[in-house]
Structure 1
Amino acid sequence: MSTTDKKSGRRTLFLLIAITIAPVLASYLAYYVWKPQGGMTYGELLKVGPVPAFAMQTLDGKPASLAEFKGKWVLAMADGAGCAAACQDTLHALRQYRIAQGKEMPRIERLWLLTDAGQPSAAALAAADGAQLRRALAPVPLPGELATGFYLIDPLGNQVLRYPRDAQPGQVIKELGKILKNNQNLG
């Protein structure tokens, strides 16, 4: 066997060893050195727990509670009856987020919590278009600034996510779709 054949054989052996070890080394580096970033949400993940009970009623004065939405995912927002343009935009966006879920749409309910004693304008009611309206008789116990966000409440009555009112529609729609898909048995 010539020297050239020995060198060629060694090269082939080292190449085979490198090919064998490379995936193991790559997986080790990927897991321990470059840590995975899974589990990122677009909305602000809230401490999951039941939304504390608070007094509310329907617009015609009948008592109401969040329990009537049990079994549905709820997109909730709180604002005064005056509902300026930003509020109306949010109401419209909540409607679009629900519609964008297609066949999953019936699993989602929209809730507008009125934080004052006023009557919503015709423009605000048009923007709400099918959303449930309830008058909050006590401060709404959801975390964060109510006027700057909207919330996702799960079918068991737990607060889950908070989104800014100016959220990117595509991101919210995508995240809602994933939540509904991964929680088929939850409502």
Structure 2
Amino acid sequence: MKSQPTYQASENPFDDERPSKTKMKQASHELQALGEDLVSLPDSRIAPLNLSETLLAAIQEYRRTRSHEGKRRQMQFIGKLMRHTDAEPIREAVAAMKLGVARNALELHEAERWRAELIASDDALTRWMAEFPATDAQQLRSVVRSARKDASLVPEKRSGRAYRELFQLIKQAQIEAAGGEQEQDEPGDE
């Protein structure tokens, strides 16, 4: 009778150094998800990533494809091509884009909050001038007065010219203030 070969712990045939099939599939799905984020980036963000011509062509083809199944298959192809590409710069570009979108949304919400407060109370005007001293106070008061007048005439319709003008004035002041903060954060020529 033949005996079964006995394996020592180091001789185990299943003790390979390569990743399991499950881990390979998980990595493939992660790359495919990253590919979905990649195709949503604008061309101006994709260009500095130095992607291969094949991958760039696949991204363009994905954008041209209209059918659901065609997009799914093209995304799988993009995921396959990304296995041979360094994914870290792509992750950084996607993260930067998402951060920028979140920051823009936050700035818009902040501007809307200021607009509502400025229309609602005179105390908000004092707080605004303390926070944004570079703002032309006379122009701001005039626009706030007009926006209040528009709001009192038609309370449910708050999209009058002065209402929009106040929003633009707030956004501009926030942009100028943010630009000044960035200049202060950067080291000078001292």
Asked whether the two chains share a fold, i.e. TM above 0.5, the reply is no
The structure with more radius of gyration: 2
User: Which protein has the bigger helix share?
Assistant: 2
The normalised TM-score by structure 2 is 0.29
User: Which protein has the bigger strand share?
Assistant: 1
